[in-house]
Amino acid sequence: MTLDRFYPIFDSADWLERMLPLGVKLVQLRAKDLGDAELRALVKRAQTLCRAHGAVLVVNDHWRIAIDESCDWVHLGQEDLDTADLSAIRRAGLKLGISTHDHAELDRALSLAPDYVALGPVYPTILKKMKWERQGLERVTEWKRLIGELPLVAIGGMTVDRADGAFAAGADIVSAVTDITLNDDPEGRLRHWIEVTR
């Protein structure tokens, strides 16, 4: 299955409810600081919304809930890999995306046969404090050479105007968060993203 080239990330089902009707086909739910019951309810609702709109839902971090709720995809950061039961994830038939920031992390990710690799932050990001500075487009090109056919997701400081450069550098998919959620017109911005990525 080919993944869509546009990959927004949202932290609530309310965002999904607003954005899925506009044509989002690949979306990540990244929810932090919720109790187990709240998280389960959120993933269940997100999954229902995504199925109704024919979109692929990727659950960030919460792999146990993703398995319990019969989700199709989970995304793990490097810290998540330390505690995740990858055999259980694979047995459940979940596809796996993994974050990478340097060569050691890429080697680790590739050893786990992921279904996509994410590289970030391509540009400086305000979303979270990171020990990595911007990776730059040269790193995107290098990563694509190293991972071959595997889909490469470019994330971090991505904007509509930077999407073409990321694709030209070798990214297969471009991911955005604050470029949409902090925009004065999130719906308009999302429509623009869909225009430039399809």
What pLDDT sits at residue 129? 62
- CA–CA separation, 3 and 174 (whole Å): 11
Q: Is 149 helix (H, G, I), strand (E, B) or coil?
A: coil
Residue 118 belongs to a domain: yes
Contact call for residues 111 and 117 (beta carbons, < 8 A): no
- CA–CA separation, 146 and 103 (whole Å): 10
Angle, vertex CA 125, rays to CA 136 and CA 101, nearest 5: 50
Q: What is the model's pTM? A: 0.96
Element (H, E) at 115: none
Q: Is 172 helix (H, G, I), strand (E, B) or coil?
A: coil
| Structural domain for 130, as ranges | 6-197
φ, ψ (nearest 5 deg) of residue 175: -110, 140
The backbone region for 99, taken as left when phi is positive above 0, alpha when psi lies in -120 to 50, beta otherwise, is: beta
Look at the chain and report how many structural domains it folds into: 1
Cα of first residue to Cα of last residue in the chain, in angstroms, is: 16
Assign 3-state DSSP to the chain and report helix, strand, coil percentages, each to 5.
45, 20, 35
Residue 82 buriedness (CB in 10 A; 0-12 / 13-18 / 19+):
exposed
CB atoms within 10 A of CB 162: 17
Structure tokens at 135: 């990776």
- CATH number, domain at 38? 3.20.20.70
Handedness of CA 143, 147, 149, 154 (dihedral sign): negative
The series of mean pLDDT values per 10 residues for the chain, 198 residues long, is: 94 97 98 94 98 98 97 96 97 98 97 97 75 85 98 96 97 97 97 96
Residue 1 belongs to a domain: no
Contact call for residues 186 and 19 (beta carbons, < 8 A): yes
